[in-house]
Amino acid sequence: MVDSQHPAPTGKTALAPDVRRLDERAARAWTERMAVRPLGGSRYAVDSQSGATYVVDVAAGTCTCPDHAIRGERCKHLRRVGIEITTRRVPPPGHRRGSCAACGVETFVREDAPAPHLCPACRLEPGDIVRDRETDDRLVVARVTDQRARETVIEGVGETVADYRTNAGYPRDDLVVEAVYLDDLGRESLRRYSFPLSRLDRVDDAAVVDRSLLAERSLP
């Protein structure tokens, strides 16, 4: 039986293009030595093999080189920027490089994204339902702070989040997440509790919580 979702390959192929089949400008975009530097927004500086530097605007589809500015051609610099964006060598328009504040992995993040930046694997958003690894309780995320567990003092306790006894097994440099217990949402006053980020697991099961309750109750 043949798995229709995973058909057998028809033959081996290279992922890089065969430059012999490309037009001259496309071939040069792939083969010439260039450096592409993001300038912000949709603009990129391209240091060409000849030593000249040109500015490409991806959104406008323009380049300051003579080939585009005078001849109106889709030049090798425009093509090279497109290649480097597609292969993730440079960030796409409106993005910048950023390291995840939790695990340190480098990703692309929106230029206007607020701190702290978290990668998709670590990201928690206000309103997300999470599980406390220690107690299995469900909570609602109120805020992901930019403070570390070792420097955040728990009000009324006098200890940092890192030094609190039930947090001993979690990294002292974890970001601190403020959350509200799900069972407290029906109460008149809500108290936020501070947790190391890695102590909380995102819960994707919609049956765990009535989402309409969250919509009716804004977190303090």
pLDDT computed for residue 212 by the predictor: 46
pLDDT computed for residue 161 by the predictor: 97
Overall pTM > 0.85: no
pLDDT computed for residue 186 by the predictor: 75
Measured distance CA(24)–CA(73) in Å, rounded: 12
Residue 92 backbone dihedrals phi, psi, to 5 degrees: -70, 170
pLDDT computed for residue 204 by the predictor: 72
Q: Averaged in consecutive runs of 10 residues, what is the pLDDT profile of the chain (220 residues)?
A: 51 72 93 95 96 97 97 95 94 92 87 84 89 95 93 92 95 94 83 95 64 50
Quick one: which of 134, 163, 128 has its CA closest to 149? 163
